[in-house]
Structure 1
Amino acid sequence: MALKITVIGTGYLGATHAAAMAELGFEVLGLDVVPEKIEMLAAGKVPMYEPGLEELLRLHVAGIEGSSGRLRFTTSYEEAADFGDIHFVCVNTPQKHGEYACDMSYVDSAFASLAPHLKRPALVVGKSTVPVGSAERLARLLEENAPAGPDVELAWNPEFLREGFAVDDTLHPDRIVVGVRSERAEKLLREVYTTPVGEGSPFVVTDFPTAELVKTAANSFLATKISFINAMAEVCEAAGGDVVKLAEAIGHDERIGAKFLRAGVGFGGGCLPKDIRAFMARAGELGADQALTFLREVDSINMRRRGHMVELAREAVGGTSFLGKRVAVLGATFKPDSDDVRDSPALNVAGQIHLQGGQVTVYDPKGMENARRLFPTLGYADTALEAVRGADVVLHLTEWLEFRRLDPAELKEAVASPIILDGRNALDAGTWRGAGWTYRAMGRPRA
């Protein structure tokens, strides 16, 4: 009999996973406790911007003309438990307010709500990013509260989605990691991922702790690499070097590689910052805090870049104050091809300048609505050209393709002063300077 899958939590991770499972041919039931979210998804709409996700959703949501009908949604844990053979838990694990530690309340609530309804054999699969040791505790919760007892097993299958590429990362993952305790659990997950494994995706089988550590270890490595090149940018500015050429040179070393070596205002979003902080907090609880003390400096370098961009902007408008100065910010999301503004360096810089008296106008191709909710006191424009009108300095802070395609000559006619600070080292310096702009980028010579 074909497996039936439930996905608990229909945010960014859950909505993507549910649509992808339907695409792989499974009957899928998505569950969320927010009725408005369920109504939106049932109508084939997604509550966030992710390239290709809404189109994939509409191919499978029941009730939409021409769809496969394999994907439905509910708010009922009882219905989900009756329906599913495998239950993927995809709820959020944010940072605790005022602490580094991970907030496990959503995960705990999902498991506690599901367990009492599990009256037949089932596999519950955690996909959320959690502190190591959580799976052991949650396995006990299932054992103690599920009526089916030992016939309900736990597995851990961390997600590795990149915002902007989530659909492809789910359907064609670069690796699949499963933490299991039985051959049955491994067999079921191999069945779920038959298609990507058949296409060549590595299938890594491990224990619970290792599976839990993979995502935080990977994010910590990426964060370290980004902060390393940003530290080199600081040295380059002090020594008169060019961090772009430095990155190019060391990136040719196959032991290092060129990816994530673009200096700029640093990383943000809902994963890297909170994951490395939660990792440090958990290491401290385990008595292994010295192993991760370097991540404090990684975090510190990252946050320092935002302040440095503010200083560069102040210098560009005269060096003393932002009062009476107009500042244009191109970008609001933490990365391109997303509408996610969580812990966005671009909005953080914009907010700091605004608090220091600057008149800040922001434009972003997809993140305007979320940015307005988070920073309602900033100014917003409908186009890049409108954002820079009358600006004393322009800050390029999110690497959208639209910004790389801007016409510097056209923008020069709109600004008060043709000064651009490239916070992503992504624009062509020669093109902008050739159009009469003063171009500066972090870690690069002034001219």
Structure 2
Amino acid sequence: MAPKITVIGTGYLGATHAAAMAELGFEVLGLDVVPEKVELLGRGEIPMYEPGLAELLRRHVAGLPGSTGRLRFTLDWAEVAAFGDVHFVCVNTPQKHGEYACDMSYVDAAVESLAVHLDRPCLVVGKSTVPVGSADRLAARIAELAPAGEEAALAWNPEFLREGFAVDDTLHPDRIVVGVRDQRHEAVLREVYATPIAEGSPFVVTDFATAELVKTSANSFLATKISFINAMAEVCEAAGGDVVKLAEAIGHDDRIGKKFLRAGIGFGGGCLPKDIRAFMARAGELGADQALTFLREVDSINMRRRGHMVELTKDALGGVLLGRRVAVLGASFKPDSDDVRDSPALNVAGQLHLQGAQVTVYDPKGNENARRIFPTLGYAASAAEAVRGADVVLHLTEWAEFRELDPAVLGEQVGRRHILDGRNALDPVAWRNAGWTYRALGRPTL
């Protein structure tokens, strides 16, 4: 008989995982402590934008027309414990306020709230990104609190979701990593992931510490690669080189690869920035801080890109921002997402506004989330509306919609045809041919 699945925490990770588990054929019960979120998900609606997720959810939420009925949501911890054989913990691990370290309070609260109700053999599976060493501590805490004692076991199964591709990444992962202490627990997780394993997804079995380190190591490597090409952009600007051609040339080396080599205003979102900082903090606690000192420079390069875009904007406006009209295309930290957490685009828009510019932002999905963080910025319902009368246009999130804009048509709306491409994603020839002054980070200026 197939195990019954529960998912603790129904944010971005949890909602996706719950819907995907139902898609794989399991009976699933999701839990959240926010009644409004449970009610929303119970209607087959999601509190964020993620391509394909709403459709997947509606296919399985109980009570909806035509659904399989395999997915329900609750606020009741006792119901979750009684229902589930495998409990996935998918709660948030934000950066501590004023510190680099990870805030484990949500994970700790979730594990403790669940553990006191675990009165039969089951497997609790952590998916949240946590400091190495957390799983050992949490396993001991579960054994201490659970009526079932050590029969309520723990495994660690880090997530590798990319916003904008989360559904596909869950159903067809490029690898599945599980940290376990017992072959029985490995067997349970092989059953849970039997479909993607059969399709060829590698299944990597490790100890707890290695499983915890995989996610933070992967994010640190990606962040380093992004900051490396952005550092090269700084050198290209000083030397008169072209970072786009540089990236193309080195990307042909299969040891390096082409992905994550587009210079721009840097990375953001709810994962990379806080994960590399938490990794540095944890390394310090372990006495291995020197091993990760390079991540401080990675972080510094990344944050420097935002300030550089502000300075380029000021230069484009003759050194004066006060009262000048600036259009910002993009608010989310990446395309195909409405996530504006630590968004470079929104950070740049906010800095320009604080220095006196009249800033109007347009993002295909992120306007409302951006408005909650920066309500004093102007927001437009389209790119054409955002650029109307603008003295300079900033392209800061590489949505396909922006790449497809007609520069000649857009040029009829602006006060001055000057565009700064903060993502190196637009065609400079097309924009220049339409009469625009085009400038991008790390590229020669004509």
The two structures have a TM-score, normalised by structure 2, of 1.00
Matched residue, 1:438: 437
What are the ranges of 5 or more consecutive residues in structure 1 without an aligned counterpart? none
Determine helix, strand or coil for the equivalent of 2:326.
strand
Matched residue, 1:181: 181
* Partner Cα separation in structure 2 for residue 162 and residue 90 of structure 1: 15
Matched residue, 2:382: 383
* Partner Cα separation in structure 2 for residue 381 and residue 337 of structure 1: 18
Matched residue, 2:272: 272
* Partner Cα separation in structure 1 for residue 150 and residue 251 of structure 2: 50
Letter in 2 for 1:42: G
Matched residue, 2:235: 235
- Cα shift at 1:275: 0.1
- Cα shift at 1:411: 1.0
* Partner Cα separation in structure 2 for residue 435 and residue 313 of structure 1: 20
Show CA shifts across 1:314-335 (max 9, x none): 000112x201200000000000
Show CA shifts across 1:319-367 (max 9, x none): 2x20120000000000000000000000000000000000000000000
Letter in 2 for 1:6: T
Is residue 2:15 matched to residue 1:11? Answer: no
Letter in 1 for 2:307: G
Matched residue, 2:416: 417
Matched residue, 1:341: 340
* Partner Cα separation in structure 1 for residue 440 and residue 161 of structure 2: 29
* Partner Cα separation in structure 1 for residue 323 and residue 203 of structure 2: 58
Aligned residues: 446
Is residue 2:20 matched to residue 1:20? Answer: yes
Matched residue, 1:331: 330
- Cα shift at 1:235: 0.1
Letter in 2 for 1:369: E
What are the ranges of 5 or more consecutive residues in structure 2 without an aligned counterpart? none
Letter in 2 for 1:297: E
Matched residue, 2:369: 370
Matched residue, 1:63: 63
Determine helix, strand or coil for the equivalent of 1:360.
strand
Show CA shifts across 1:50-99 (max 9, x none): 00000000000000010000000000000000000000000000000000
* Partner Cα separation in structure 2 for residue 120 and residue 301 of structure 1: 50
* Partner Cα separation in structure 2 for residue 190 and residue 367 of structure 1: 37
Matched residue, 1:244: 244
Show CA shifts across 1:81-133 (max 9, x none): 00000000000000000000000000000001000100000000000000000
- Cα shift at 1:20: 0.2
Determine helix, strand or coil for the equivalent of 2:66.
coil
- Cα shift at 1:2: 1.9
- Cα shift at 1:435: 0.2
Matched residue, 1:33: 33
* Partner Cα separation in structure 1 for residue 203 and residue 257 of structure 2: 24
* Partner Cα separation in structure 1 for residue 80 and residue 282 of structure 2: 32
Matched residue, 1:400: 399
Letter in 2 for 1:98: G
Matched residue, 1:135: 135
- Cα shift at 1:150: 1.4
Residues 45-444 of structure 1 correspond to what in structure 2 (within 5 A)? 45-319=45-319, 321-444=320-443
* Partner Cα separation in structure 2 for residue 112 and residue 142 of structure 1: 7
The CA RMSD measured in Å over matched residues stands at: 0.4
Determine helix, strand or coil for the equivalent of 1:60.
coil
* Partner Cα separation in structure 2 for residue 111 and residue 413 of structure 1: 57
Letter in 2 for 1:410: V
Letter in 1 for 2:104: M
Report percent identity of matched pairs.
Answer: 82
Determine helix, strand or coil for the equivalent of 2:116.
helix
* Partner Cα separation in structure 1 for residue 411 and residue 3 of structure 2: 59
* Partner Cα separation in structure 1 for residue 365 and residue 83 of structure 2: 36
* Partner Cα separation in structure 1 for residue 349 and residue 59 of structure 2: 39
Letter in 1 for 2:150: P
* Partner Cα separation in structure 1 for residue 148 and residue 381 of structure 2: 56
